[in-house]
Chains A and B, each alone.
Chain A
Amino acid sequence: MSSINLDQLYRRVIMDHYKNPRNKGELADGGLTIDMNNPTCGDRIHLTMQVEDGIVQDAKFDGEGCSISMASASMMTQAIKGKSAEDAVRLSKAFSDMMLGKDLDEDLDLGDIEALSGVSQFPARIKCATLAWKAMEKGVDSDANPN
């Protein structure tokens, strides 16, 4: 018998973010725009971010995808707002580690995001959870290294 069950994946907080996504939509005045797809399944994210003086002032997302990808995007935008770009990237690395089932730094406060830790037990779904974070990292990177 398998010890994994669905409730480890679909925690209540996740379903809440899926049903009532935070920061859904698009920032009116430009800023950074990142579009990313998950080509294997068709999930799609459109992320807009306002980064000023190294601080993520605002972020919104739009897109299509499963509960895990959309909830993760919602939580991500919530978590990075007000953080420095550096901290946002640090959080994203911690999130990747969490997806790999690694132990996390005790001082790191993940808040709602912690609820996604169960995804690590569903390898087929890890890419769903990391899509929005990858988009955010790409945005921060393009802000720091414009070409």
Chain B
Amino acid sequence: MISKDIKKRFPILDQQVNGHPLVYLDSGATSQKPDVVIEAVKRYYENDNSNVHRGVHTLGNRATDEYEGARQKVADFINASSVQEVIFTRGTTTSINTVAQSYGRANVSEGDEIVITMMEHHSNIIPWQQLAKETGATLKYVDLEDDGTLSLDKVEETVTDKTKIVSVMYVSNVLGTKNPIKEIAEIAHRHGAVMVVDGAQAAPHLKVDVQDLDCDFFAFSGHKMCAPTGIGVLYGKKALLEDMEPVEFGGEMIDFVGLYESTWKELPWKFEGGTPIIAGAIGLGAAIDFLEEIGLDNIDRHEKHLAAYAMEKMSEIDGLTIYGPADPDLRAGIVTFNLDGVHPHDVATVLDMNGIAVRAGHHCAQPLMKRLGATATARASFYVYNTEEDVDRLADGLRIAKEYFSDVIH
């Protein structure tokens, strides 16, 4: 288990909410930020703030070094084979849209197929819907199993030689399921398709190795892994990125500009039009240092333990349904649930009045909700700073909610 003292590294957690010490169980939406990240951003603004890749002056050099240093940290963090394969974006959403608009438009045409799954987040559905509409390609879904996992047989049945893109989430933001990305990538490649991974819920929580997964693109967001909002990453294999056109044009990304024609910088900068998210990238670098100091394997183990503990505690509550795989080994630190007869909003409000922050709603996964037969659910998601006591508080809060609404529960 990770030491409880880690909580002290997150200043925001030391507060009372509605008269109770805050228990933050919404890291799946966005994580809190440790002191080192807040300080790194502050230090940058107080000492080195300047635009990158242009100034001849000292501050400009420092800012550029720090920004590019952060890129190297990201490359090492996901084991990219080259730092040129790391593109800074605004987040997972922008990263996936970049793949759809650049790689997709150039390589997908009428009659082709794009394969995703029924458990995807809207940001890994809609870019492909749009691409399918524009190109006349067909969007296909791999259904999920009743236990909330994906079956490789079904993937095998869905992917054909017409498939050009397979895009799957590594970890489900609703079910907590860890998907067999490496095996799915192998199927995609056998049919000549590229493998895109939505790593938004994976990168913060487990050791990602893009070379081992053999994925072609990997997207994630800084804000879910202790970094500021507004910074994210698109990893892509160099050979693919080199052939791709940028989707945003302007300053920073050009090599030469003529009156009617221009040429682009080399990788990764051709994909980073405009002044980049410098402070965000530096914050992400600091977040990576922080997470690696704890160890991603420790984080993964810690969260799995909390999820298993939560499932055990919550199963003691009558009328509480937990979604996703029952086997803790198949999941990450996300537990989605419903209290029979009480709408998740109402559950979340009662928990909030007890200082406990959870998410309630469709979690940007409406097709999945429909598949689960639920219009909305409540979700507790764990991170490094959560403890067994937090889970106990959640279980107590759920009992209070149940009691409070007992006269409407039929």
Contacts and interface: CB of A to CB of B under 8 A. Distances in A.
A18 B376 CA distance: 17
B40 interface: no
A6 B407 contact: no
A125 B407 contact: no
B364 to A, nearest CB: 10
A108 interface: no
A10 B360 contact: no
B362 interface: yes
Nearest to B363: A42
Given A42-B375, A66-B346, A2 B360 contact: no
B349 interface: yes
Nearest to A44: B375
B369 A42 contact: yes
Contacts of B375: 42-44, 64-65
A41 B345 contact: yes
A41 B361 CA distance: 4
A42 B407 CA distance: 25
A6 B353 contact: yes
A92 to B, nearest CB: 22
Nearest to B410: A19
Contact of B408 (A1, A64, A67, A128): A67
Contacts of A6: 349-350, 353, 404
Interface string B1-34: 0000000000000000011000000000000000
B361 A42 contact: yes
Nearest to B354: A6
A125 B352 CA distance: 12
B361 A40 contact: yes
Contact of A42 (B18, B19, B376, B404): B376
A1 B376 contact: no
Contacts of B405: 67
Contact of B19 (A1, A10, A18, A19): A1
A51 to B, nearest CB: 29
B349 A9 contact: yes
Contact of A128 (B345, B352, B369): B345
Range, interface on chain B: 20 to 34
Range, interface on chain A: 20 to 34
B179 interface: no
A28 interface: no
A64 B346 CA distance: 13
Contacts of A42: 361-362, 366, 369, 375-376
Contacts of A44: 375
Interface string B358-396: 001110001001000001100000000000000000000
A67 B404 CA distance: 13
Interface string A1-18: 110111001100001001
B343 interface: yes
A68 B362 CA distance: 17
B404 A10 contact: yes
B189 to A, nearest CB: 37
A96 B369 CA distance: 30
Q: Which of A43, A66, A124 has the most CB of B within 10 A?
A: A66
Interface in B199-217: none
Contacts of B404: 6, 10
A15 B407 CA distance: 9
Contacts of B349: 6, 9, 122, 124-125
A125 B345 CA distance: 8
Interface in B330-360: 343-346, 349-350, 352-353, 360
A66 to B, nearest CB: 4
A5 B354 CA distance: 10
B194 to A, nearest CB: 31
Interface string B60-72: 0000000000000
Contacts of A67: 343, 345-346, 405, 408
Contacts of A41: 345, 360-362, 376
A109 B340 CA distance: 36
A66 B19 CA distance: 25
24 contacts: A2-B18, A2-B19, A4-B18, A6-B350, A6-B353, A6-B404, A15-B407, A18-B408, A19-B407, A41-B345, A42-B361, A42-B366, A42-B369, A42-B376, A44-B375, A64-B376, A65-B343, A65-B375, A67-B345, A67-B346, A122-B349, A124-B349, A124-B352, A128-B345
Interface of B: 18-19, 343-346, 349-350, 352-353, 360-362, 366, 369, 375-376, 404-405, 407-408
Given A19-B407, A65-B343, A68-B346, 5 more contacts: A9-B349, A42-B366, A64-B375, A67-B405, A68-B345
